[in-house]
Structure 1
Amino acid sequence: MELEFTLLLLSAILGHANALTCYKCPDAQCKDNDVEKCKDEELCMTRLNRQGDGKKLISKSCATSQTCTNFSLNLGCIVSEMSCCNTDLCNTGPDPEKPTGLKCVGCLEMLGDFKCNRTGVVRCTGNQNKCGRLQGVHKNDGHSLTIDFQGCVSESVCLLTSTKLIFDMEIGKQFECCDGDLCNGTSRLEVGPVTLLVLCLCLLLSNNN
Protein backbone atom coordinates (compact mmCIF):
# COMPACT_ATOMS: atom_id res chain seq x y z
CA MET A 1 0.00 0.00 0.00
CA GLU A 2 2.84 2.39 0.88
CA LEU A 3 4.59 1.52 -2.39
CA GLU A 4 1.46 2.35 -4.43
CA PHE A 5 1.09 5.69 -2.62
CA THR A 6 4.76 6.52 -3.23
CA LEU A 7 4.46 5.74 -6.94
CA LEU A 8 1.35 7.91 -7.24
CA LEU A 9 3.11 10.78 -5.47
CA LEU A 10 6.17 10.49 -7.71
CA SER A 11 3.95 10.41 -10.80
CA ALA A 12 2.18 13.60 -9.71
CA ILE A 13 5.46 15.38 -8.97
CA LEU A 14 7.05 14.36 -12.27
CA GLY A 15 3.93 15.28 -14.22
CA HIS A 16 3.88 18.76 -12.70
CA ALA A 17 7.59 19.10 -13.35
CA ASN A 18 7.00 18.49 -17.07
CA ALA A 19 4.45 21.31 -17.28
CA LEU A 20 5.70 24.41 -19.09
CA THR A 21 6.15 27.91 -17.72
CA CYS A 22 4.99 30.56 -20.21
CA TYR A 23 4.78 34.31 -20.44
CA LYS A 24 1.30 35.66 -19.75
CA CYS A 25 0.56 39.28 -20.57
CA PRO A 26 -1.65 41.40 -22.83
CA ASP A 27 1.16 43.00 -24.84
CA ALA A 28 4.44 42.26 -26.59
CA GLN A 29 6.82 43.26 -23.77
CA CYS A 30 6.23 40.90 -20.88
CA LYS A 31 7.98 41.63 -17.61
CA ASP A 32 10.09 38.96 -15.95
CA ASN A 33 7.36 38.15 -13.44
CA ASP A 34 4.55 37.99 -16.03
CA VAL A 35 4.56 34.20 -16.15
CA GLU A 36 2.18 31.35 -15.47
CA LYS A 37 2.53 27.63 -14.88
CA CYS A 38 0.69 25.66 -17.52
CA LYS A 39 -1.32 22.52 -17.09
CA ASP A 40 0.15 19.25 -18.31
CA GLU A 41 0.45 19.05 -22.12
CA GLU A 42 -0.34 22.75 -22.64
CA LEU A 43 1.81 24.88 -24.96
CA CYS A 44 3.10 28.45 -24.84
CA MET A 45 1.20 30.74 -27.23
CA THR A 46 1.66 34.17 -28.78
CA ARG A 47 -1.31 35.72 -30.60
CA LEU A 48 -1.27 38.88 -32.73
CA ASN A 49 -4.23 40.67 -34.27
CA ARG A 50 -4.24 43.93 -36.23
CA GLN A 51 -7.22 45.56 -37.88
CA GLY A 52 -7.77 48.59 -40.10
CA ASP A 53 -6.75 51.20 -37.53
CA GLY A 54 -3.23 49.73 -37.45
CA LYS A 55 -3.28 48.99 -33.72
CA LYS A 56 -1.68 45.68 -32.78
CA LEU A 57 -3.24 43.49 -30.10
CA ILE A 58 -0.77 40.95 -28.73
CA SER A 59 -1.45 38.38 -26.04
CA LYS A 60 0.64 35.58 -24.53
CA SER A 61 -0.43 32.66 -22.39
CA CYS A 62 -0.64 28.90 -22.00
CA ALA A 63 -2.95 27.14 -24.44
CA THR A 64 -4.15 23.64 -25.15
CA SER A 65 -3.01 21.86 -28.29
CA GLN A 66 -6.63 21.97 -29.53
CA THR A 67 -6.74 25.77 -29.41
CA CYS A 68 -3.17 26.51 -30.48
CA THR A 69 -1.78 26.08 -33.97
CA ASN A 70 0.82 27.96 -35.98
CA PHE A 71 -0.74 30.16 -38.65
CA SER A 72 -0.29 33.56 -40.26
CA LEU A 73 -2.46 35.63 -42.58
CA ASN A 74 -2.54 39.15 -43.97
CA LEU A 75 -5.83 40.15 -45.59
CA GLY A 76 -4.78 43.75 -46.04
CA CYS A 77 -6.94 45.36 -43.37
CA ILE A 78 -6.82 42.32 -41.09
CA VAL A 79 -3.64 40.63 -39.86
CA SER A 80 -3.82 37.60 -37.60
CA GLU A 81 -1.03 35.33 -36.38
CA MET A 82 -0.64 32.60 -33.81
CA SER A 83 2.55 30.80 -32.82
CA CYS A 84 2.91 27.89 -30.41
CA CYS A 85 6.04 26.41 -28.82
CA ASN A 86 6.88 23.76 -26.24
CA THR A 87 9.77 24.99 -24.09
CA ASP A 88 9.79 27.19 -20.99
CA LEU A 89 9.24 30.93 -21.69
CA CYS A 90 9.52 30.38 -25.45
CA ASN A 91 6.61 32.71 -26.33
CA THR A 92 8.80 35.81 -26.60
CA GLY A 93 7.63 36.95 -30.05
CA PRO A 94 6.32 38.12 -32.35
CA ASP A 95 9.54 38.79 -34.22
CA PRO A 96 9.72 41.08 -37.29
CA GLU A 97 9.04 39.06 -40.42
CA LYS A 98 10.84 39.45 -43.74
CA PRO A 99 8.96 39.85 -47.04
CA THR A 100 8.69 36.64 -49.06
CA GLY A 101 8.33 38.35 -52.44
CA LEU A 102 4.85 36.88 -52.97
CA LYS A 103 2.02 39.33 -53.69
CA CYS A 104 -1.68 38.58 -53.29
CA VAL A 105 -4.98 40.36 -53.79
CA GLY A 106 -6.27 41.65 -50.44
CA CYS A 107 -8.86 43.97 -48.99
CA LEU A 108 -7.38 47.38 -48.19
CA GLU A 109 -10.62 48.84 -46.85
CA MET A 110 -13.41 46.85 -45.22
CA LEU A 111 -16.88 47.99 -44.22
CA GLY A 112 -18.44 47.19 -40.87
CA ASP A 113 -20.33 44.21 -42.27
CA PHE A 114 -17.07 42.55 -43.46
CA LYS A 115 -17.70 43.56 -47.07
CA CYS A 116 -14.60 44.72 -48.92
CA ASN A 117 -14.85 48.29 -50.13
CA ARG A 118 -11.45 48.47 -51.88
CA THR A 119 -9.10 45.71 -53.01
CA GLY A 120 -5.38 46.02 -53.73
CA VAL A 121 -2.02 44.29 -53.57
CA VAL A 122 -0.85 42.79 -50.27
CA ARG A 123 2.81 41.81 -49.82
CA CYS A 124 3.35 38.53 -47.95
CA THR A 125 5.81 38.09 -45.09
CA GLY A 126 7.21 35.33 -42.90
CA ASN A 127 5.68 31.93 -43.66
CA GLN A 128 2.82 33.35 -45.75
CA ASN A 129 3.58 31.28 -48.84
CA LYS A 130 0.11 31.08 -50.41
CA CYS A 131 -2.57 33.40 -51.69
CA GLY A 132 -5.99 32.57 -50.30
CA ARG A 133 -9.64 33.43 -50.53
CA LEU A 134 -12.51 32.65 -48.16
CA GLN A 135 -16.10 33.09 -49.27
CA GLY A 136 -19.10 32.14 -47.19
CA VAL A 137 -22.04 33.30 -45.10
CA HIS A 138 -22.00 33.73 -41.32
CA LYS A 139 -25.41 33.55 -39.63
CA ASN A 140 -25.96 34.96 -36.15
CA ASP A 141 -29.22 35.84 -34.39
CA GLY A 142 -31.18 35.80 -37.61
CA HIS A 143 -28.70 38.04 -39.42
CA SER A 144 -26.51 36.90 -42.31
CA LEU A 145 -23.08 38.30 -43.19
CA THR A 146 -21.59 37.59 -46.60
CA ILE A 147 -17.86 36.98 -46.14
CA ASP A 148 -15.26 37.49 -48.87
CA PHE A 149 -11.70 37.55 -47.49
CA GLN A 150 -8.59 37.60 -49.70
CA GLY A 151 -4.91 37.88 -48.93
CA CYS A 152 -1.63 36.21 -47.95
CA VAL A 153 -1.86 33.05 -45.87
CA SER A 154 0.45 30.38 -44.51
CA GLU A 155 -0.13 26.86 -45.78
CA SER A 156 -1.51 25.87 -42.37
CA VAL A 157 -4.44 28.27 -42.94
CA CYS A 158 -5.34 26.37 -46.10
CA LEU A 159 -5.55 23.14 -44.08
CA LEU A 160 -7.82 24.47 -41.33
CA THR A 161 -11.36 23.08 -41.61
CA SER A 162 -12.80 25.63 -39.17
CA THR A 163 -12.53 29.43 -39.19
CA LYS A 164 -13.38 29.83 -35.50
CA LEU A 165 -9.75 29.66 -34.42
CA ILE A 166 -8.87 32.63 -36.68
CA PHE A 167 -11.95 34.87 -36.64
CA ASP A 168 -13.77 33.58 -33.54
CA MET A 169 -16.74 32.73 -35.74
CA GLU A 170 -17.67 29.73 -37.84
CA ILE A 171 -18.24 30.49 -41.52
CA GLY A 172 -18.67 26.89 -42.67
CA LYS A 173 -16.06 27.20 -45.42
CA GLN A 174 -12.30 26.96 -45.56
CA PHE A 175 -9.72 29.03 -47.39
CA GLU A 176 -9.10 28.12 -51.02
CA CYS A 177 -5.41 28.62 -51.75
CA CYS A 178 -3.18 29.01 -54.78
CA ASP A 179 0.45 29.63 -55.75
CA GLY A 180 1.74 32.65 -57.64
CA ASP A 181 1.40 36.40 -57.56
CA LEU A 182 -2.20 37.70 -57.39
CA CYS A 183 -3.59 34.24 -58.18
CA ASN A 184 -6.43 34.65 -55.65
CA GLY A 185 -7.91 37.42 -57.73
CA THR A 186 -8.60 35.04 -60.62
CA SER A 187 -10.21 31.65 -61.07
CA ARG A 188 -6.91 29.83 -60.54
CA LEU A 189 -7.78 28.73 -57.02
CA GLU A 190 -7.02 25.18 -55.91
CA VAL A 191 -10.09 22.93 -55.97
CA GLY A 192 -10.75 19.69 -54.16
CA PRO A 193 -10.91 16.25 -55.86
CA VAL A 194 -14.73 16.15 -55.85
CA THR A 195 -15.01 19.52 -57.59
CA LEU A 196 -12.34 18.47 -60.08
CA LEU A 197 -14.22 15.23 -60.84
CA VAL A 198 -17.46 17.14 -61.46
CA LEU A 199 -15.66 19.52 -63.83
CA CYS A 200 -14.18 16.59 -65.77
CA LEU A 201 -17.58 14.91 -66.08
CA CYS A 202 -19.11 18.15 -67.33
CA LEU A 203 -16.38 18.45 -69.98
CA LEU A 204 -16.89 14.85 -71.10
CA LEU A 205 -20.66 15.31 -71.38
CA SER A 206 -20.29 18.53 -73.34
CA ASN A 207 -17.85 16.86 -75.74
CA ASN A 208 -20.22 13.91 -76.31
CA ASN A 209 -23.02 16.31 -77.14
Structure 2
Amino acid sequence: MERLYTMKEASKLLGVTVRTIQRWDKEGKIRCVRTIGGKRRVPESEIKRILGIHEERKIVGYARVSSHTQKDDLERQIELIKRYAKERGWKIEILKDVGSGLKENRRNFQKLLRMVMNREVSKVIIAYPDRLTRFGFKILEEFFKSYGTEIVVINKEEKSPQEELIEDLITIISHFAGKLYGMRSHKYKKVVEGAKKLIQDC
Protein backbone atom coordinates (compact mmCIF):
# COMPACT_ATOMS: atom_id res chain seq x y z
CA MET A 1 0.00 0.00 0.00
CA GLU A 2 1.03 3.60 -0.58
CA ARG A 3 2.81 5.28 2.32
CA LEU A 4 0.78 7.88 4.22
CA TYR A 5 2.41 10.80 6.07
CA THR A 6 1.10 12.58 9.15
CA MET A 7 0.39 16.28 8.77
CA LYS A 8 3.56 17.10 10.72
CA GLU A 9 5.72 14.83 8.53
CA ALA A 10 4.15 16.26 5.37
CA SER A 11 4.71 19.85 6.53
CA LYS A 12 8.44 19.16 7.02
CA LEU A 13 8.77 17.50 3.61
CA LEU A 14 6.90 20.30 1.84
CA GLY A 15 8.43 23.13 3.85
CA VAL A 16 5.08 24.63 4.87
CA THR A 17 3.05 24.74 8.07
CA VAL A 18 0.43 22.19 9.08
CA ARG A 19 -2.16 24.97 8.86
CA THR A 20 -1.19 25.57 5.20
CA ILE A 21 -1.72 21.89 4.35
CA GLN A 22 -5.10 21.98 6.08
CA ARG A 23 -6.03 25.01 3.97
CA TRP A 24 -4.83 23.31 0.79
CA ASP A 25 -6.97 20.30 1.66
CA LYS A 26 -10.09 22.50 1.99
CA GLU A 27 -9.26 24.27 -1.28
CA GLY A 28 -8.70 20.97 -3.11
CA LYS A 29 -5.03 21.74 -3.78
CA ILE A 30 -3.84 18.58 -2.03
CA ARG A 31 -5.48 15.19 -1.62
CA CYS A 32 -5.66 14.00 1.98
CA VAL A 33 -7.15 10.77 3.27
CA ARG A 34 -8.76 10.12 6.63
CA THR A 35 -7.87 7.36 9.07
CA ILE A 36 -10.58 5.40 10.89
CA GLY A 37 -10.10 7.85 13.76
CA GLY A 38 -10.72 10.79 11.42
CA LYS A 39 -7.13 12.07 11.28
CA ARG A 40 -5.72 13.50 8.05
CA ARG A 41 -2.92 11.71 6.24
CA VAL A 42 -1.11 12.82 3.08
CA PRO A 43 -0.33 10.11 0.46
CA GLU A 44 3.27 9.90 -0.72
CA SER A 45 2.12 10.46 -4.32
CA GLU A 46 0.74 13.88 -3.32
CA ILE A 47 4.04 14.85 -1.68
CA LYS A 48 5.91 13.90 -4.85
CA ARG A 49 3.39 15.70 -7.07
CA ILE A 50 3.73 18.97 -5.16
CA LEU A 51 7.52 18.69 -5.01
CA GLY A 52 7.59 18.01 -8.75
CA ILE A 53 9.12 14.55 -8.43
CA HIS A 54 7.99 12.58 -11.46
CA GLU A 55 8.48 8.85 -11.38
CA GLU A 56 8.00 6.96 -14.62
CA ARG A 57 5.01 4.68 -14.25
CA LYS A 58 4.86 1.22 -15.80
CA ILE A 59 2.75 -0.02 -18.68
CA VAL A 60 1.45 -3.50 -17.87
CA GLY A 61 0.04 -6.09 -20.25
CA TYR A 62 -2.41 -8.54 -18.67
CA ALA A 63 -3.46 -11.87 -20.21
CA ARG A 64 -5.70 -14.62 -18.85
CA VAL A 65 -7.21 -17.95 -19.82
CA SER A 66 -9.55 -20.17 -17.83
CA SER A 67 -7.57 -23.43 -17.94
CA HIS A 68 -4.15 -24.89 -18.76
CA THR A 69 -5.59 -26.47 -21.92
CA GLN A 70 -5.83 -22.94 -23.38
CA LYS A 71 -2.08 -22.33 -23.30
CA ASP A 72 -2.01 -21.43 -27.02
CA ASP A 73 -4.67 -18.76 -26.50
CA LEU A 74 -2.65 -17.32 -23.61
CA GLU A 75 0.43 -17.04 -25.82
CA ARG A 76 -1.63 -15.40 -28.58
CA GLN A 77 -2.89 -12.77 -26.14
CA ILE A 78 0.64 -12.06 -24.92
CA GLU A 79 1.99 -11.74 -28.49
CA LEU A 80 -0.89 -9.43 -29.43
CA ILE A 81 -0.21 -7.21 -26.41
CA LYS A 82 3.55 -7.14 -27.07
CA ARG A 83 3.03 -6.25 -30.73
CA TYR A 84 0.53 -3.50 -29.83
CA ALA A 85 2.99 -2.01 -27.33
CA LYS A 86 5.99 -2.28 -29.68
CA GLU A 87 4.13 -0.41 -32.44
CA ARG A 88 3.73 2.49 -30.02
CA GLY A 89 7.24 2.34 -28.59
CA TRP A 90 6.06 1.27 -25.13
CA LYS A 91 8.12 -0.86 -22.77
CA ILE A 92 5.82 -3.23 -20.92
CA GLU A 93 5.68 -5.74 -18.11
CA ILE A 94 3.53 -8.82 -18.74
CA LEU A 95 1.33 -10.36 -16.04
CA LYS A 96 -0.66 -13.52 -16.77
CA ASP A 97 -3.09 -15.80 -14.98
CA VAL A 98 -4.74 -19.16 -15.53
CA GLY A 99 -8.13 -19.09 -13.84
CA SER A 100 -11.75 -18.06 -14.17
CA GLY A 101 -12.57 -14.42 -14.82
CA LEU A 102 -15.11 -14.77 -12.00
CA LYS A 103 -12.33 -15.28 -9.45
CA GLU A 104 -10.90 -12.16 -7.84
CA ASN A 105 -8.08 -14.02 -6.06
CA ARG A 106 -6.03 -14.68 -9.20
CA ARG A 107 -2.40 -14.20 -8.13
CA ASN A 108 -1.27 -11.75 -10.80
CA PHE A 109 -4.63 -9.97 -10.91
CA GLN A 110 -4.13 -9.22 -7.21
CA LYS A 111 -0.57 -8.08 -7.95
CA LEU A 112 -1.91 -5.76 -10.66
CA LEU A 113 -4.45 -4.25 -8.25
CA ARG A 114 -1.69 -3.56 -5.70
CA MET A 115 0.47 -1.91 -8.37
CA VAL A 116 -2.43 0.28 -9.51
CA MET A 117 -3.26 1.33 -5.93
CA ASN A 118 0.40 2.19 -5.38
CA ARG A 119 0.20 4.38 -8.51
CA GLU A 120 2.92 2.38 -10.24
CA VAL A 121 0.95 1.83 -13.46
CA SER A 122 -0.02 4.34 -16.17
CA LYS A 123 -1.70 1.88 -18.55
CA VAL A 124 -3.00 -1.70 -18.50
CA ILE A 125 -3.22 -3.36 -21.92
CA ILE A 126 -5.62 -6.28 -22.44
CA ALA A 127 -6.74 -8.17 -25.55
CA TYR A 128 -10.44 -8.24 -24.57
CA PRO A 129 -12.42 -6.75 -21.64
CA ASP A 130 -13.31 -10.19 -20.23
CA ARG A 131 -9.63 -11.13 -19.87
CA LEU A 132 -9.43 -8.75 -16.93
CA THR A 133 -12.81 -9.56 -15.38
CA ARG A 134 -16.00 -11.31 -16.44
CA PHE A 135 -18.25 -8.90 -14.58
CA GLY A 136 -18.04 -5.29 -13.46
CA PHE A 137 -15.57 -4.14 -16.12
CA LYS A 138 -16.92 -0.56 -16.08
CA ILE A 139 -16.56 -0.41 -12.28
CA LEU A 140 -12.98 -1.70 -12.50
CA GLU A 141 -12.25 0.82 -15.26
CA GLU A 142 -13.45 3.70 -13.05
CA PHE A 143 -11.50 2.29 -10.08
CA PHE A 144 -8.28 2.19 -12.12
CA LYS A 145 -8.97 5.70 -13.45
CA SER A 146 -9.20 7.04 -9.89
CA TYR A 147 -5.53 6.00 -9.47
CA GLY A 148 -4.52 7.55 -12.80
CA THR A 149 -4.43 4.21 -14.66
CA GLU A 150 -5.94 3.79 -18.13
CA ILE A 151 -7.22 0.41 -19.35
CA VAL A 152 -6.40 -0.07 -23.05
CA VAL A 153 -8.55 -2.71 -24.77
CA ILE A 154 -7.08 -3.86 -28.09
CA ASN A 155 -10.21 -5.61 -29.39
CA LYS A 156 -13.35 -3.68 -28.48
CA GLU A 157 -16.19 -5.79 -29.78
CA GLU A 158 -19.46 -3.87 -29.58
CA LYS A 159 -22.27 -6.12 -28.35
CA SER A 160 -25.96 -5.49 -27.84
CA PRO A 161 -27.32 -5.65 -24.24
CA GLN A 162 -29.02 -8.95 -25.14
CA GLU A 163 -25.76 -10.46 -26.44
CA GLU A 164 -23.95 -9.38 -23.28
CA LEU A 165 -26.64 -10.93 -21.04
CA ILE A 166 -26.52 -14.21 -22.98
CA GLU A 167 -22.72 -14.32 -22.73
CA ASP A 168 -22.87 -13.57 -18.99
CA LEU A 169 -25.47 -16.31 -18.43
CA ILE A 170 -23.39 -18.91 -20.28
CA THR A 171 -20.31 -17.83 -18.29
CA ILE A 172 -22.11 -18.34 -14.97
CA ILE A 173 -23.48 -21.75 -16.02
CA SER A 174 -20.03 -22.84 -17.28
CA HIS A 175 -18.36 -21.70 -14.06
CA PHE A 176 -20.69 -23.59 -11.72
CA ALA A 177 -20.90 -26.66 -13.97
CA GLY A 178 -17.10 -26.79 -13.87
CA LYS A 179 -17.19 -26.56 -10.07
CA LEU A 180 -19.73 -29.39 -9.83
CA TYR A 181 -18.48 -31.81 -12.46
CA GLY A 182 -14.96 -30.72 -13.44
CA MET A 183 -14.06 -28.81 -16.61
CA ARG A 184 -13.16 -31.94 -18.60
CA SER A 185 -16.08 -34.14 -17.60
CA HIS A 186 -18.82 -35.30 -19.97
CA LYS A 187 -21.49 -33.87 -17.64
CA TYR A 188 -19.88 -30.43 -17.79
CA LYS A 189 -19.94 -30.40 -21.59
CA LYS A 190 -23.52 -31.70 -21.62
CA VAL A 191 -24.75 -28.98 -19.23
CA VAL A 192 -22.98 -26.15 -21.09
CA GLU A 193 -24.04 -27.32 -24.55
CA GLY A 194 -27.59 -27.84 -23.28
CA ALA A 195 -27.68 -24.32 -21.87
CA LYS A 196 -26.40 -22.84 -25.15
CA LYS A 197 -29.02 -24.74 -27.15
CA LEU A 198 -31.82 -23.71 -24.78
CA ILE A 199 -30.82 -20.04 -25.05
CA GLN A 200 -30.61 -20.22 -28.85
CA ASP A 201 -34.07 -21.81 -29.05
CA CYS A 202 -35.67 -19.07 -26.90
Scaled to the shorter chain, the TM-score interval is under 0.3
Q: Which has the higher helix share?
A: 2
TM-score calculated relative to the size of structure 2: 0.26
